[in-house]
């Protein structure tokens, strides 16, 4: 969803073509597309993409084919469509869908193990982790789009040795490197999809940062899981990568024979054959000082989605197996996508071993957790020699101080790319 920056235009859908956005509202007005692709382009002219998602992936696929063919050099529609291209440098984005509900999962067994060691050193994984895609219900209204700024949250916490908790600004604001998907063509209440249908109910992948505050998380999480530690801000990237585009990067989804195999409702030959995807991921951290001296962000993590323990098809299947009815435009988050090695950890709590070992940045600064003014940039891409390289764009967010001045902006003029454009 985009509009020209600084205008009062309506937000509408767009497709990334090189460094431009193809304006789907302008394309619809040309009246060149009909049938399924015509319906798909009309749906994308609305202020959010829920209707597009409800049409299902077949409509998205038809639109993709129609646009690719119409933009092809020499196509009769090429000149008209070229006039619908807007430079990405001139646009601003909005959250892609009108979001009703939001669930976030916990799909990195490496993160779950590293994190669990703090509480259960001898048996870090919950007994049900390898049987159930674990998730929690997040808050949808505080989901924002890349470029946003949010305020350091305050919360109640108990200091070590103190008798009573106090209300104070969080000292442990953290990032979470995740991928998200939107649900498309949801299921009716009481009528779960099957695992064979589940992947086709997933509308593309995007970068997601589930900002978290670790001090209140430890204080509040038992027995019902995270609440205020997670609901103050979530940033998502504006660009969604559909599954067709990711097809060249599919990998087998394997389970160690030492692990429990998924129950039949979570298992499918097609999922075992190619349920995983090689998506490269990295996290950049840019401090106020780096901004003032023109330095690039420090890369603090590099990992891949291939390390996920559950696929999104399994997560969605589990979500609705009891009859629950996710709706078009509801996001599912993967949870932190840490790999097995320490420098593949997708959150500061893991990178600093719970705030014990400071993370050294590329200048002489270091971090345990985020400080005021820090900007975090998630990046994702797929690349190999025999396929087209695909980028996921940026997912950027900035932490303000606890007392943001009245009238302070909700978005800073942070460059779209704050490091090498991978
Ligand atoms: Ca999370």
Q: Which residues are near ligand 1, the ion (C-beta closer than 5 Å)? A: 104, 176, 210
Residue with tokens 């001898």: 122
Q: How far is the CA of 305 from the centre of ligand 1 (A)?
A: 14
Domain at 103-413: CATH code: 3.90.850.10
Å from CA of 328 to ligand 1 middle: 21
Q: Quick one: 2-93 is in which CATH superfamily?
A: Fumarylacetoacetase, N-terminal domain (2.30.30.230)
The string of DSSP codes covering 71-86 is: HSTT-TTHHHHHTTEE
Give the confidence band of 408 by pLDDT, cuts at 50, 70, 90.
low
* pLDDT in the model for residue 417: 52
Dist. CA 183–CA 82, nearest whole Å: 31
Per-domain residue ranges of the chain: 2-93, 103-413
| pLDDT, tens digit (0-9, with 9 covering 90-100), for 259-289 | 999 999 999 999 999 999 999 999 999 999 9
Helix, strand, or coil (residue 200): helix
pLDDT tens column, 189-229 = 999 999 999 999 999 999 999 999 998 887 888 888 888 89
Query: Model confidence over 121-143: pLDDT tens digits?
Result: 788 898 899 999 999 999 999 99
Instruction: In whole angstroms, give the CA distance from residue 323 to residue 225.
Output: 22
Per-residue DSSP letters for 314-328? HHHHHHHTTS----T
For residues 45 and 193, what is the distance between their CA atoms, to the nearest angstrom? 29
Which pLDDT value is given to residue 123? 83
Cα of 105 to ligand 1 centre, how many Å?
7
What is the value of pTM for the model shown? 0.94
DSSP letter for each residue of 7-40:
S-PPPB-EEEETTEEEEHHHHHHHT---HHHHHH
Encoding tokens for residue 337? 């996508």
Report the sign of the C-alpha dihedral through residues 281, 334, 208, 246, in that order. positive
User: Which residues have a catalytic role annotated?
Assistant: 111
H or E stretch including 195?
helix 195-198
Strand partners, 378: 283, 395
225 Cα–ligand 1 center, Å: 12
pLDDT, tens digit (0-9, with 9 covering 90-100), for 34-62: 999 999 999 999 999 999 999 999 999 99
């Amino acid at each position: 969803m985009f509009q020209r920056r600084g205008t009062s235009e309506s937000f509408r859908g767009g497709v990334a073509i090189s460094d431009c956005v193809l304006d789907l509202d302008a394309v619809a007005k040309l009246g060149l597309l009909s049938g399924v692709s015509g319906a798909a382009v009309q749906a994308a002219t609305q202020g959010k993409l829920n209707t597009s998602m409800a049409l299902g992936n077949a409509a998205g696929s038809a639109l993709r084919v129609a646009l690719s063919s119409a933009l092809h050099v020499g196509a009769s529609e090429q000149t008209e469509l070229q006039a619908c291209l807007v430079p990405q440098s001139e646009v601003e984005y909005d959250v892609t869908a009108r979001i009703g509900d939001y669930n976030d999962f916990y799909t990195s067994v490496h993160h779950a193990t590293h994190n669990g060691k703090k509480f259960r050193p001898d048996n870090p994984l919950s007994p049900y982790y390898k049987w159930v895609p674990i998730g929690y219900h997040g808050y949808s209204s505080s989901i924002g789009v890349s470029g946003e700024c949010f305020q350091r949250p305050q919360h109640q916490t108990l200091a070590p040795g103190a008798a009573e908790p106090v209300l104070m600004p969080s000292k442990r604001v953290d990032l979470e490197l995740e991928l998200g998907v939107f649900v498309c063509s949801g299921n009716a209440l009481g009528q779960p999809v099957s695992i064979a249908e589940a992947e086709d109910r997933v509308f593309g992948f995007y970068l997601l940062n589930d900002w978290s505050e670790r001090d209140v998380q430890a204080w509040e999480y038992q027995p019902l899981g995270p609440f205020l530690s997670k609901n103050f801000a979530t940033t998502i990237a504006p660009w969604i990568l559909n599954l067709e585009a990711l097809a060249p990067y599919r990998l087998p989804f394997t389970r160690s024979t030492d692990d429990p195999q998924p129950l039949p409702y979570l298992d499918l030959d097609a999922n075992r054959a190619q349920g995983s995807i090689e998506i490269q991921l990295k996290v950049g951290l840019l401090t106020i000082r780096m901004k003032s001296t023109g330095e690039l962000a420090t890369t603090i993590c590099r990992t891949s989605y291939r390390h996920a323990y559950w696929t999104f098809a399994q997560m969605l299947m589990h979500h609705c197996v009891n009859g629950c009815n996710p709706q078009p435009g509801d996001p599912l988050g993967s949870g932190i996508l840490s790999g097995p090695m320490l420098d593949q950890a997708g959150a500061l709590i893991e990178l600093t071993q719970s705030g014990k070992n400071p993370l050294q940045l590329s200048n002489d600064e270091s971090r345990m957790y985020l400080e005021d003014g820090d900007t975090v940039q998630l990046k994702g891409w797929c690349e190999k020699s025999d396929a087209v390289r695909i980028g996921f764009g940026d997912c950027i967010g900035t932490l303000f101080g606890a007392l943001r001045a009245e009238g302070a902006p909700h978005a800073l003029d942070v460059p779209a790319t704050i490091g090498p454009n991978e």
